Amino acid sequence: MANGRNTPKRRNNFSSSPDIAAEATEAGRDRIGIILAVAYWVFLILTAVILGRILLIQFTWKPDPTLAKYLRPHNEKVTLVPQRGMILSHDGRLLAVSTPMYQVRMDCTVMKEENKIKKPEVEQIWLSEAEELSKGLARIYKDKTPEQYFALIKEGREKGRKYVPIGGQIDHETLQEVKALPLFRRGPNRGGIIVESLETRQYPYGALARRTIGHVRNNSSAEVARNKIGIEGKFNYALHGQEGIEWMKVTDGRRYIHNYDSAYVQPTDGNDIRTTLDIDMQDIADRALRHQIEDNMKIEGGCVILMDVETGGIRAMVNLLRDSVTNQLHETYNMAVGRIGEPGSVFKTTTLMTLLEDGKVSLSTEIPTNHGYVKGFTTDAHIYDYERENKTDKISVLHGFEISSNYVFRKLAIDAYGSSPKQMIDRLYMYKLGEAYDFDLDGFSTPTLPSPESQYWSDTDLGSVAIGYSVGETPLHIITFYNAIANKGKMMKPYLVESIEKDGKVVEMRGPTVLNGSICSRATADTLAKALNAVTTEGTGKKVKGAKCSIAGKTGTARIVLPAKYTRKSHRPYEDEQGRKQYQATFVGFFPVEQPRYSAICVVYSRLDREIFYGGTIPALTIREIVDNVYAIDKENGEVISELHSLPRWAMDGEGEESAKTAQLTRKQDKKTPTL
């Protein structure tokens, strides 16, 4: 390196020209040397300063704690939310699926300070862009006019609002449109757009079976305890999945990336639930019930269950309850499994089954009419009319069943079991009408049956139980019993969940379960089917006569015990002071009679009124509409045409002769097809 010590001695003016050139070179070197020396010293000093600062910061400097968190390397623990499992119908159609929805907000103060420093024209450009944005928002959200949106943004900017909500929740596709709007397309830092992702559950079929499918407010475990509704709630353990953990770090470019130096726990997505529900049948049942009760404001609500006879799988479960304010029907409470009521005459079938099984009567057994009077009970007006019309003092069990005579069943029960009522009650327990067995939904109510050994047992209880009073049953209990009759005495446990699946593979098969292998003999089941068929052809269930396929069933009309506030003055449990009553009207049965495939129940609850609602009217008509439509869409019911010869087809490569043959078809009635 050149320095002062090596400076060459000055030469005199008489030096030769090579000496002059050498001198000039030496001078140039000196200059470069000086520059390098200065640069070296600058770097040296800077190094000393930096080293000094490092030592100072390392050992003495204590940063402000609020500032410190921004100075440390940012490493954030992120909980990875698992994808909640889907709920599928029995044929794999989507009933519930999780997908995020988005809430857009706006930081109206964005670029405000920066624009102030610049020229006022820049702020004007921002505002004109905000005006364009307002037009776009009004077009997409359709909840405000462009002027209202612009006023919202302008006011927010003036008042320094940084979190102004824009419209309601939108889906992913709409979000892309919003993001492409003027101003918002500049991103969060320059455009002020803030997007919040909200995990939501989508139900493609809207309100259909909503109470059965249920809901969990969000996919977190904490919320479940408060919102454990339907299949979503009961099978949350399978649907939810397992959260994962990921550590994220910030790059120099302020981007979040996965930190591979930290632990990573992969989330496990939830399993899918395949239900027994048939969404077409659900739609049919929902529409039929709405059709019957929607415009009748005297009806509080109703429910329908459609069950597969062979397996007990529930194909449709409708629960429509009228909103007291709007009078609209909504799926707000699962009456089918949760509402206990006195079932009324549909319970007479249990009495008849017990009598038949114990060999006490046959359908042709005749009993004296006795003007419809049984000691301790009011006179049965049906019998009085029957005596008058038929000029007889005897009535058969079958006819008593057809006209749903209270007298006949009270008398039969009292005569057969008056001395041993426990025998009859025990039978009811055997029919699974006294317990809430394990079911795929929470809130399945336990039925109430009186006990002859209880101090509350009275002399009239047996006669009441025989006709469906003094007992409390849910619609699901009743249909399960009737389903067993259709299934030749084999009682299947009703169920809603067919299997739990993962990526299309079955993880847990739940399938059909037998509740009671034989609640009655095959002969008794056949006799009861015959009696139920008589009800729909000759008796109280005539409204279903003429349906596209034969239906066997029973009607039931029961008064509902009113709350004490209504009966305080009337002193009657079923009547208020104005003589108004509430009814529970039921129709339950199965179809086709010859080879039952489905059993169905419709229960309708009336509001307080003077009008009587019979099971043979609205519920029977609902079931008929359901049967007509279900029958028509079920290909199993279709006529089978057998091919005798090949069908005509296009001639190809000289196969004309064969293809030109006239096809002859013969129609053969499939053995499975019921006779209509």
Partner 1 sequence: MARTKKQSSALRRTFRALGRGELLMSLHLDKYFLHIIYTFLLAWLSIWLSLKVDNTLVKVQRGKQALTDIKIYYTQKAVELESLNRLSTMEKMLEESGSPLVLPEQPATIIRNQ
The single residue listed with the structure tokens 């052809």 is 537
Q: Sign of the C-alpha dihedral, residues 213, 219, 221, 223?
A: negative
CB of 634 to partner 1, least distance (A): 6
Asked if 644 is part of the footprint of partner 1 (rule: CB under 8 A), the reply reads yes
Instruction: Identify which of residues 12 and 251 has a Cβ nearer to partner 1 in the complex.
Output: 251
Instruction: Identify which of residues 60 and 642 has a Cβ nearer to partner 1 in the complex.
Output: 642
CB of 656 to partner 1, least distance (A): 22
Integer Cα distance of 621 and 643 in angstroms: 39
For the chain, the farthest-separated pair of C-alpha atoms sits apart, in whole angstroms, at: 167
CB of 588 to partner 1, least distance (A): 24
Q: Which stretch binds partner 1 (CB under 8 A): 40-48, 60-68, 268-276, 466-474?
A: 40-48
Burial 148-175 (b: 16+ CB within 10 A, else e): ebbebbeebbeeebeebebbeebeeebb
CB of 212 to partner 1, least distance (A): 16
Bond preceding residue 592 cis, omega within 30 of 0: yes
Instruction: Identify which of residues 102 and 377 has a Cβ nearer to partner 1 in the complex.
Output: 102
CB of 388 to partner 1, least distance (A): 43
State both tokens at 400: 């008593």
Instruction: Identify which of residues 100 and 182 has a Cβ nearer to partner 1 in the complex.
Output: 100
CA 9 to each of CA 17, 26, 44, 470, 546: distance values in angstroms, whole numbers, following the listed order = 16, 11, 30, 132, 133
Contact with partner 1 (CB under 8 A): which of 21, 507, 612, 640? 640
Collapsed DSSP state (helix, strand, coil) of residue 327: coil
CB of 171 to partner 1, least distance (A): 5
Residue type, 161: R
CB of 644 to partner 1, least distance (A): 7
Integer Cα distance of 266 and 282 in angstroms: 38
Asked if 73 is part of the footprint of partner 1 (rule: CB under 8 A), the reply reads no
Asked if 261 is part of the footprint of partner 1 (rule: CB under 8 A), the reply reads no
State both tokens at 214: 């249920």
Contact with partner 1 (CB under 8 A): which of 120, 253, 359, 654? 253
Integer Cα distance of 555 and 604 in angstroms: 12
Instruction: Identify which of residues 41 and 163 has a Cβ nearer to partner 1 in the complex.
Output: 41
Instruction: Identify which of residues 3 and 124 has a Cβ nearer to partner 1 in the complex.
Output: 3
Collapsed DSSP state (helix, strand, coil) of residue 515: strand
Contact with partner 1 (CB under 8 A): which of 8, 52, 638, 656? 638
Which positions from 448 through 467 interact with partner 1, judged by CB under 8 A?
none
Which positions from 287 through 316 interact with partner 1, judged by CB under 8 A?
287
Asked if 52 is part of the footprint of partner 1 (rule: CB under 8 A), the reply reads no
CB of 321 to partner 1, least distance (A): 20
Instruction: Identify which of residues 65 and 253 has a Cβ nearer to partner 1 in the complex.
Output: 253
Integer Cα distance of 232 and 97 in angstroms: 11
Contact with partner 1 (CB under 8 A): which of 15, 25, 99, 448? 99
Neighbouring C-alpha atoms within 13 Å toward the C-beta of 356? 26
Instruction: Identify which of residues 175 and 433 has a Cβ nearer to partner 1 in the complex.
Output: 175
Q: Which stretch binds partner 1 (CB under 8 A): 127-135, 281-289, 453-461, 468-476?
A: 281-289
Q: Is 249 exposed, middle or buried (0-12, 13-18, 19+ CB in 10 A)?
A: middle
Integer Cα distance of 10 and 19 in angstroms: 11
Please answer whether residues 537 and 555 qualify as being in contact, where contact means their C-beta atoms are separated by less than 8 angstroms: no
Asked if 635 is part of the footprint of partner 1 (rule: CB under 8 A), the reply reads yes
Q: Which stretch binds partner 1 (CB under 8 A): 157-165, 282-290, 577-585, 593-601?
A: 282-290
Asked if 264 is part of the footprint of partner 1 (rule: CB under 8 A), the reply reads no
The single residue listed with the structure tokens 């990573």 is 264
Asked if 391 is part of the footprint of partner 1 (rule: CB under 8 A), the reply reads no
CA 7 to each of CA 23, 37, 309: distance values in angstroms, whole numbers, following the listed order = 10, 15, 115
The single residue listed with the structure tokens 């103060």 is 109
Tell me the site size for partner 1, rule CB under 8 A. 51
Integer Cα distance of 412 and 409 in angstroms: 5
Taking residues 538 to 567 in sequence order and writing x for each that binds partner 1 by CB under 8 A, - otherwise, the string is ----------x-------------------
The single residue listed with the structure tokens 């317990």 is 435
Asked if 654 is part of the footprint of partner 1 (rule: CB under 8 A), the reply reads no
Collapsed DSSP state (helix, strand, coil) of residue 77: strand
CB of 598 to partner 1, least distance (A): 14
Which positions from 160 through 219 interact with partner 1, judged by CB under 8 A?
171-173, 202, 204-206, 208
Ramachandran angles phi, psi of 106, nearest 5°: -135, 135
The 3-state secondary structure of 375-416, one letter per residue: CCCCCCHHHHHHHHHHCCCEEEHHHHHHCCCHHHHHHHHHHH
Instruction: Identify which of residues 278 and 380 has a Cβ nearer to partner 1 in the complex.
Output: 278
Contact with partner 1 (CB under 8 A): which of 158, 459, 643, 658? 643
CB of 643 to partner 1, least distance (A): 5
Instruction: Identify which of residues 285 and 314 has a Cβ nearer to partner 1 in the complex.
Output: 285
Please answer whether residues 178 and 148 qualify as being in contact, where contact means their C-beta atoms are separated by less than 8 angstroms: no
Rg (CA), the chain: 41
Residues within the interface to partner 1 (CB under 8 A): 1, 3, 37, 40-41, 44, 93-94, 97-100, 171-173, 202, 204-206, 208, 251-253, 255-258, 279-280, 283-284, 287, 548, 629, 631-644, 647, 665, 670
